[in-house]
Structure 1
Amino acid sequence: MAGGKWMGWWGHLGAPKQRGIAVYVLSPYEQRAFAGAAHQAVFNTFRRVTGQAFYIGVPLGLGYALFSWGKENHQWRLSKEGHAHHGDH
Protein backbone atom coordinates (compact mmCIF):
# COMPACT_ATOMS: atom_id res chain seq x y z
CA MET A 1 0.00 0.00 0.00
CA ALA A 2 1.23 3.43 -0.88
CA GLY A 3 -0.53 6.42 0.62
CA GLY A 4 -3.41 4.29 1.85
CA LYS A 5 -4.35 3.08 -1.65
CA TRP A 6 -3.58 -0.32 -3.12
CA MET A 7 -1.49 0.11 -6.28
CA GLY A 8 -2.73 -3.00 -8.04
CA TRP A 9 -0.79 -5.49 -10.10
CA TRP A 10 1.92 -4.41 -12.57
CA GLY A 11 0.39 -2.21 -15.26
CA HIS A 12 -2.72 -1.50 -13.19
CA LEU A 13 -1.33 1.05 -10.79
CA GLY A 14 -4.64 2.50 -9.62
CA ALA A 15 -4.87 5.28 -12.22
CA PRO A 16 -8.25 6.17 -13.73
CA LYS A 17 -9.24 4.28 -16.87
CA GLN A 18 -8.01 5.87 -20.06
CA ARG A 19 -10.56 7.02 -22.60
CA GLY A 20 -10.43 7.44 -26.35
CA ILE A 21 -8.02 4.58 -27.06
CA ALA A 22 -9.24 2.22 -29.77
CA VAL A 23 -7.85 -1.29 -29.83
CA TYR A 24 -8.19 -3.45 -32.92
CA VAL A 25 -7.43 -7.14 -32.89
CA LEU A 26 -7.16 -9.53 -35.81
CA SER A 27 -7.83 -13.17 -35.16
CA PRO A 28 -4.77 -15.41 -35.63
CA TYR A 29 -6.90 -17.52 -37.94
CA GLU A 30 -7.44 -14.54 -40.25
CA GLN A 31 -3.79 -13.58 -40.51
CA ARG A 32 -1.47 -14.66 -43.27
CA ALA A 33 1.88 -14.16 -41.62
CA PHE A 34 3.99 -15.35 -44.55
CA ALA A 35 1.80 -14.11 -47.39
CA GLY A 36 4.16 -13.23 -50.24
CA ALA A 37 7.27 -13.73 -48.09
CA ALA A 38 9.13 -15.87 -50.63
CA HIS A 39 8.31 -13.49 -53.49
CA GLN A 40 9.42 -10.46 -51.49
CA ALA A 41 12.56 -12.20 -50.24
CA VAL A 42 13.74 -13.04 -53.76
CA PHE A 43 13.20 -9.59 -55.22
CA ASN A 44 14.32 -7.70 -52.13
CA THR A 45 17.52 -9.76 -51.99
CA PHE A 46 18.16 -9.14 -55.70
CA ARG A 47 17.62 -5.40 -55.24
CA ARG A 48 19.97 -5.23 -52.26
CA VAL A 49 22.69 -7.31 -53.90
CA THR A 50 22.64 -5.28 -57.11
CA GLY A 51 22.73 -2.09 -55.03
CA GLN A 52 25.88 -3.24 -53.24
CA ALA A 53 27.59 -5.03 -56.16
CA PHE A 54 29.84 -2.08 -57.01
CA TYR A 55 31.02 -1.71 -53.40
CA ILE A 56 31.84 -5.40 -53.14
CA GLY A 57 32.87 -6.22 -56.72
CA VAL A 58 35.50 -3.51 -57.21
CA PRO A 59 37.55 -4.31 -54.08
CA LEU A 60 37.25 -8.06 -54.76
CA GLY A 61 38.38 -7.53 -58.37
CA LEU A 62 41.33 -5.38 -57.30
CA GLY A 63 42.27 -7.87 -54.58
CA TYR A 64 42.14 -10.77 -57.03
CA ALA A 65 44.22 -8.85 -59.58
CA LEU A 66 46.84 -8.00 -56.93
CA PHE A 67 46.92 -11.60 -55.71
CA SER A 68 47.30 -12.97 -59.25
CA TRP A 69 50.05 -10.48 -60.06
CA GLY A 70 51.90 -11.30 -56.83
CA LYS A 71 51.66 -15.04 -57.39
CA GLU A 72 52.87 -14.74 -61.00
CA ASN A 73 55.67 -12.36 -59.99
CA HIS A 74 56.77 -14.71 -57.23
CA GLN A 75 56.93 -17.66 -59.65
CA TRP A 76 58.89 -15.55 -62.14
CA ARG A 77 61.40 -14.48 -59.45
CA LEU A 78 61.94 -18.14 -58.55
CA SER A 79 62.73 -19.00 -62.19
CA LYS A 80 66.15 -18.87 -63.84
CA GLU A 81 65.18 -15.77 -65.77
CA GLY A 82 64.06 -13.98 -62.57
CA HIS A 83 67.29 -14.85 -60.76
CA ALA A 84 69.36 -13.66 -63.68
CA HIS A 85 67.38 -10.42 -63.95
CA HIS A 86 67.75 -9.53 -60.27
CA GLY A 87 71.28 -10.85 -59.87
CA ASP A 88 70.35 -13.36 -57.18
CA HIS A 89 72.22 -16.63 -56.74
Structure 2
Amino acid sequence: MGGHGFGHLHKLRRIITYRLSPYELKGFKGIVSHGFPNTLRRTLENVPYMVPPLGLGYVIYDQVEKEHQRTMRKNPADFENDQ
Protein backbone atom coordinates (compact mmCIF):
# COMPACT_ATOMS: atom_id res chain seq x y z
CA MET A 1 0.00 0.00 0.00
CA GLY A 2 2.99 2.25 0.35
CA GLY A 3 3.96 4.61 -2.43
CA HIS A 4 0.46 5.19 -3.80
CA GLY A 5 -1.27 8.51 -3.60
CA PHE A 6 -4.79 9.08 -2.37
CA GLY A 7 -7.29 7.59 -4.82
CA HIS A 8 -4.84 4.94 -6.06
CA LEU A 9 -4.94 2.63 -3.07
CA HIS A 10 -6.16 -0.48 -4.88
CA LYS A 11 -6.12 -2.05 -8.35
CA LEU A 12 -9.25 -2.50 -10.41
CA ARG A 13 -9.14 -5.42 -12.80
CA ARG A 14 -11.07 -5.52 -16.08
CA ILE A 15 -12.44 -2.03 -15.39
CA ILE A 16 -11.09 0.82 -17.46
CA THR A 17 -11.30 4.29 -16.00
CA TYR A 18 -10.32 7.57 -17.58
CA ARG A 19 -9.58 10.75 -15.71
CA LEU A 20 -8.92 14.29 -16.78
CA SER A 21 -7.17 16.76 -14.60
CA PRO A 22 -9.39 19.75 -13.79
CA TYR A 23 -6.39 21.93 -14.54
CA GLU A 24 -6.21 20.64 -18.10
CA LEU A 25 -9.88 21.14 -18.94
CA LYS A 26 -10.90 24.18 -20.90
CA GLY A 27 -14.26 25.20 -19.47
CA PHE A 28 -15.00 27.86 -22.08
CA LYS A 29 -13.54 26.12 -25.11
CA GLY A 30 -15.80 26.61 -28.12
CA ILE A 31 -18.19 29.02 -26.40
CA VAL A 32 -17.89 31.53 -29.23
CA SER A 33 -17.66 29.11 -32.15
CA HIS A 34 -20.25 26.60 -30.90
CA GLY A 35 -22.07 28.06 -27.90
CA PHE A 36 -23.51 31.26 -29.37
CA PRO A 37 -24.54 29.74 -32.71
CA ASN A 38 -26.19 26.81 -30.88
CA THR A 39 -28.08 29.18 -28.59
CA LEU A 40 -29.22 31.25 -31.55
CA ARG A 41 -30.31 28.14 -33.47
CA ARG A 42 -32.26 26.76 -30.52
CA THR A 43 -33.94 30.11 -29.92
CA LEU A 44 -34.92 30.48 -33.57
CA GLU A 45 -36.33 26.95 -33.60
CA ASN A 46 -38.68 27.91 -30.76
CA VAL A 47 -39.87 31.22 -32.26
CA PRO A 48 -42.89 29.62 -34.00
CA TYR A 49 -44.00 28.22 -30.66
CA MET A 50 -43.39 31.40 -28.64
CA VAL A 51 -44.59 34.24 -30.87
CA PRO A 52 -48.28 33.31 -31.42
CA PRO A 53 -49.17 33.00 -27.71
CA LEU A 54 -47.23 36.17 -26.88
CA GLY A 55 -48.88 38.06 -29.75
CA LEU A 56 -52.33 36.83 -28.76
CA GLY A 57 -51.68 37.78 -25.15
CA TYR A 58 -50.60 41.28 -26.21
CA VAL A 59 -53.69 41.78 -28.40
CA ILE A 60 -56.00 40.64 -25.59
CA TYR A 61 -54.22 42.85 -23.03
CA ASP A 62 -54.36 45.88 -25.36
CA GLN A 63 -58.08 45.44 -26.07
CA VAL A 64 -58.90 44.97 -22.38
CA GLU A 65 -56.97 48.13 -21.46
CA LYS A 66 -58.73 50.14 -24.19
CA GLU A 67 -62.14 48.89 -23.02
CA HIS A 68 -61.25 49.69 -19.42
CA GLN A 69 -60.24 53.24 -20.32
CA ARG A 70 -63.44 53.66 -22.38
CA THR A 71 -65.69 52.51 -19.53
CA MET A 72 -63.91 54.70 -16.96
CA ARG A 73 -64.67 57.94 -18.87
CA LYS A 74 -67.43 60.13 -17.56
CA ASN A 75 -70.46 60.71 -19.77
CA PRO A 76 -70.79 64.48 -20.32
CA ALA A 77 -74.55 64.14 -20.78
CA ASP A 78 -74.89 63.09 -17.14
CA PHE A 79 -73.54 66.47 -15.95
CA GLU A 80 -75.35 68.92 -18.25
CA ASN A 81 -77.64 70.27 -15.52
CA ASP A 82 -74.95 70.70 -12.83
CA GLN A 83 -74.16 74.26 -11.87
Which letter maps to 2:37? F
Q: How many residues align?
A: 68
- 2:50 alignment partner, one of 56, 63, 68: 56
Change beyond 3 A, Cα 1:75–1:37: same
Deviation at 1:24, TM superposition (A): 6.1
Q: CA offsets per residue over residues 27-81 of structure 1, 9 Å max, x none?
A: 7676544321232111011001100111111101100110000000111112228
Change beyond 3 A, Cα 1:69–1:19: same
Please show how residues 32-47 of structure 1 align to structure 2 within 5 Å. Answer: 32-47=26-41
Structure 1 gap ranges (5+): 1-16, 85-89
- 1:78 alignment partner, one of 72, 75, 79: 72
When normalised by structure 2's length, the TM-score is 0.56
Which letter maps to 2:42? R
CA RMSD of aligned residues (A): 3.1
Structure 2 gap ranges (5+): 1-10, 79-83
**Quick one: distance in 1 between partners of 2:12 and 2:24?**
29
